[in-house]
A and B are shown apart, each in its own frame.
Chain A
Amino acid sequence: MGKLKENIISFLDRHMHIAYPAPAMITLFIVVIFPIIYNIYMSINKWKIGLGSPKYIGLQNYIEAFSDPRFWNGLKVMFYFSGLSLSLEIILGLLIAVYFNKEFKGSNFVQTIYIFPFAATPVAIALIWRIMLNPQIGVLNYFLGLVGLPGSLWVSDTRTVIISLVLVDVWKWTPMITLIVLAGLKSLPRDPYEAAVIDGANAFHIFSYITVPLIRPVLITALTLRSLDNLKEFDIIYTITQGGPGIASETLYLYSYKTAFSFFKAGYGSTLIIIVFLLVLFFNVAMNKIRYRTEVL
């Protein structure tokens, strides 16, 4: 009797690792993997949505991309926007996490207010920023005027548009980095800090020689997570500038969207999407390598 029961349990155990994940994995395969395959297939075809059917053209779309100035512009904008916003978010996120790591009265309340932007709907918030950034009647230029600074054209000028968008992105997403790093800080061992204090190290030394090296793996995790969304930033840029003025803030991702859904070039659009996907993948693999290396150290 006991033997039979044992058999049933072991039978279920053996099956569980397939039966339990199966529904989710099948769903994911259908909703995720199939579209990727479709895009790869589409990227070697030429098809204008609504006109005829896809025509096989080999790697022509990829060749077209490399001679398309708008492709290179998109790549440049993407690196500029992501490089700037990700580094600012990591630096500010770390500093603010160190700040919150010291318990003080009202800390919990301040943290709650501080994370609001992170939860807020991006499109709604981006529209409000768009109004605030208006060069003629926006409140930001009014504030600049109050302290005697000249107003900026913000998103209406090709030279300031990316920095302005970075400002919105940093406002919205730095809290997420802070939360992750803060949890990391709370789990750090106490001993190195006590030893450093005994040795007479000051706050700056403690921060740069103990906190930063210890927290580095968590920082890289936070950066990886954030980059997943940041490299594919759509809502904020699309709502505030639609890639303008001209194509000054048109990231490769936004360009791929426009190619497929404004210019209706499905084949070429898919090619651009595949390239974005490969870039994100490459960045993640690289980050993972770096993380493992720092963990070994």
Chain B
Amino acid sequence: MNKAKIYKILFYIGMIILIIPPIFVFAWMIMIGLKTGVQNIEYPPLFIFKPTLENFKAVFQQHNFLKYLTNSFIIATGATIISLFIGLPAAYSIARYKQRNLSIGILVARMTPFVSYLLPWYIIFRKLNLIDTFTALITTHLIITLPMIIWLMIAFFEGVPIELEEAALIDGCVRSETFLRIAIPLSKNGIITSAIISFIFSWNQFLFSLILSGPKTRTVPVAVYNFMSYGKIDWAGIGAAATIIVFPVLVFAFFVKNRIVEGLTRGAIKG
């Protein structure tokens, strides 16, 4: 009885130790955004103050964040949809025919340093006059989303019982029908999971947008990074902008946490 009590207390201490670092950093981020510029450089740091929404207003009105949020949304959604469209059949085929060579090719894609894509793509897109277009950004974001979706979906398709498909084949379905009518509906959870993970990684991607975007297609990570340019750091602006950028991903993470766990771990343990 006593031992059980000690265990219980230890568990709650562990819980507090684990959630303080994330909670504190995110809370501090929001607080920076709610303080004025002057309050932000006060020492000792202010913990109690009169919050202001001015920074958030400025981020939208002066820094045009609604546009950057839209850009990021278009790019992440576009890259994810295209990746699903061409990635699902590929993953299905790799899962069913055990095409190990192709899955190794996907791993190579994941290993390649992102910097190595920048120069060739920059040169090509400049020749094609495509710098600062959604075409360029969605194309390069496929480098992240496509391997990720294929790699996650291989594991999910492997989890679809092959007996169901065999039964359908005997009943006269063709393979494409088993794919569309059996494998896809049965892996709906997996598809949602990998789409979400793919969206988050595309949303968070910084390097491609840094080189290939411009005023028209700038994404949120680059927009927030720009708050730091020219030697002067707008801390209050960074706090507000960071909060706005991180918020959608955290909401995603909150509602679909168990799915993210499932997606990551399926791919990992089988991978």
Query: What is A's interface to B at a CB cutoff of 8 Å?
Result: 5, 8-9, 12-13, 16-17, 19-21, 23-25, 27-28, 31-32, 34-36, 38-39, 42, 96, 99, 102, 104, 106, 108, 110-125, 127-129, 131-132, 136-139, 142, 171, 176, 179-180, 182-184, 187, 218, 221-222, 225, 228, 232, 234-235, 239, 253, 256-257, 260-261, 266, 269-270, 273-274, 276-277, 280-281, 284
B11 and A104 within 8 A (CB) = yes
Chain A residue contacts of B112, Cβ below 8 A: 32, 35-36, 277
B175 and A12 within 8 A (CB) = yes
CA distance A280 to B146 in the complex (A): 20
Known: A25-B90, A232-B114, A234-B207. A139 touches B142 (CB 8 A): no
Chain A residue contacts of B253, Cβ below 8 A: 112, 115-116, 118-119
Query: What is B's interface to A at a CB cutoff of 8 Å?
Result: 11, 14-15, 18-19, 21-23, 25-26, 28-29, 32, 40-45, 86-87, 89-90, 92-94, 96-97, 99, 102, 105-121, 139-140, 142-143, 146-147, 150, 169, 172, 174-176, 179, 200, 203-204, 206-207, 211, 220-222, 224-225, 227-228, 235, 238-239, 241-242, 245-246, 249-250, 252-254, 257-258, 260-261, 264-266, 268-269, 271
Q: Out of A114, A222, A284, which one reaches B22, CB within 8 Å?
A: A114
B142 and A31 within 8 A (CB) = yes
- B43 — nearest CB in chain A belongs to which residue? A137
A171 and B21 within 8 A (CB) = yes
Interchain residue pairs with CB less than 8 A apart (8): A9-B175, A32-B112, A99-B18, A115-B253, A116-B26, A120-B250, A121-B203, A124-B245
Chain B residue contacts of A27, Cβ below 8 A: 86, 142, 146
A25 and B105 within 8 A (CB) = yes
Q: Out of B40, B120, B146, B147, which one reaches A34, CB within 8 Å?
A: B120
Chain A residue contacts of B225, Cβ below 8 A: 123, 127, 239
Closest Cβ–Cβ distance, residue A73 to chain B (whole Å): 18
Chain A residue contacts of B106, Cβ below 8 A: 28
> Main secondary structure on chain B at its contact with chain A?
helix
CA distance A153 to B77 in the complex (A): 41
Closest Cβ–Cβ distance, residue A294 to chain B (whole Å): 14
Chain B residue contacts of A31, Cβ below 8 A: 117, 139-140, 142-143, 146
Closest Cβ–Cβ distance, residue A46 to chain B (whole Å): 14
Known: A27-B146, A28-B147, A35-B120. A20 touches B42 (CB 8 A): no
Q: Out of A28, A106, A132, A269, which one reaches B15, CB within 8 Å?
A: A106
Closest Cβ–Cβ distance, residue B142 to chain A (whole Å): 6
Chain A residue contacts of B211, Cβ below 8 A: 261
* Residue picked from A9, A28, A261, most chain B C-beta under 10 Å: A28
- B254 — nearest CB in chain A belongs to which residue? A112
Q: Out of B28, B42, B169, B246, which one reaches A9, CB within 8 Å?
A: B169
Closest Cβ–Cβ distance, residue A234 to chain B (whole Å): 6
List 3 A-B pairs, minimum CB-CB distance, nearest first: A183-B265, A24-B90, A20-B93
Closest Cβ–Cβ distance, residue B194 to chain A (whole Å): 13
Closest Cβ–Cβ distance, residue B44 to chain A (whole Å): 5
- B268 — nearest CB in chain A belongs to which residue? A180
Closest Cβ–Cβ distance, residue A161 to chain B (whole Å): 18
CA distance A261 to B211 in the complex (A): 9
CA distance A247 to B133 in the complex (A): 34
Chain A residue contacts of B92, Cβ below 8 A: 20
B97 and A17 within 8 A (CB) = yes
A124 and B241 within 8 A (CB) = yes
B238 and A270 within 8 A (CB) = no
CA distance A121 to B253 in the complex (A): 12
Known: A21-B93, A128-B238. A260 touches B119 (CB 8 A): yes
Chain A residue contacts of B143, Cβ below 8 A: 31-32
Known: A39-B120, A104-B11, A142-B45. A16 touches B249 (CB 8 A): no
Chain A residue contacts of B111, Cβ below 8 A: 228, 277, 280-281, 284
Extra pairs beyond A24-B89, A25-B105, A31-B143 (12, CB < 8 Å): A16-B96, A16-B175, A20-B92, A28-B147, A116-B253, A125-B29, A125-B242, A136-B43, A180-B264, A180-B265, A183-B261, A184-B269
- A2 — nearest CB in chain B belongs to which residue? B172
- A187 — nearest CB in chain B belongs to which residue? B269
A123 and B174 within 8 A (CB) = no
Chain A residue contacts of B117, Cβ below 8 A: 31-32, 35
CA distance A171 to B18 in the complex (A): 10
Closest Cβ–Cβ distance, residue A276 to chain B (whole Å): 5
CA distance A257 to B206 in the complex (A): 13
- A123 — nearest CB in chain B belongs to which residue? B221
B206 and A235 within 8 A (CB) = yes
CA distance A8 to B172 in the complex (A): 11
A35 and B246 within 8 A (CB) = no
CA distance A179 to B102 in the complex (A): 27
A13 and B175 within 8 A (CB) = yes
A125 and B120 within 8 A (CB) = no
Q: Out of B26, B29, B116, B239, which one reaches A35, CB within 8 Å?
A: B116
Closest Cβ–Cβ distance, residue A208 to chain B (whole Å): 19
Closest Cβ–Cβ distance, residue A275 to chain B (whole Å): 10
